Amino acid sequence: GIYSPTVEILGLPWNLDVKKVLSTPSLGVFLYHRISDSDIWSIDVSAEFILINTDEVKNIQKKFDRPVTFNHKTSVQGFSDFCEWKNVLDEQK
């Protein structure tokens, strides 16, 4: 996948990972909390992901229906089916 530069929010480092999911095929978008100084930690996160279309066609967006928990065992959350891969390449969508 392609990782974004690290962004610090509330003192915590976060990255996005965007990749083609071959099994579906679709665009996957994932939020990562990659670094922690502690072995035991937990944080509840709300997030919305928006794929902004360069033309004035409808943007594609998804958000967590409820806060998701990141912790020392689960440091990634997201959507493996953010949108169909063919829609990423279709200039009409």
Q: How many angstroms separate the Cα of 34 from the Cα of each of 39, 41, 93? A: 12, 12, 33
pLDDT at 84: 92
CATH 2.30.30.90 fits 2-89, yes or no: no
- pLDDT mean over 65-78: 92
Provide the whole-model pTM.
0.84
Q: pLDDT tens digits, residue range 36-59? A: 666 788 899 999 999 988 877 788
- Three-class secondary structure of residue 47 per DSSP: coil
Domain boundaries, the chain: 2-89
31 or 59, greater pLDDT: 31
Are residues 35 and 52 in contact, defined by beta-carbon separation less than 8 angstroms?
no
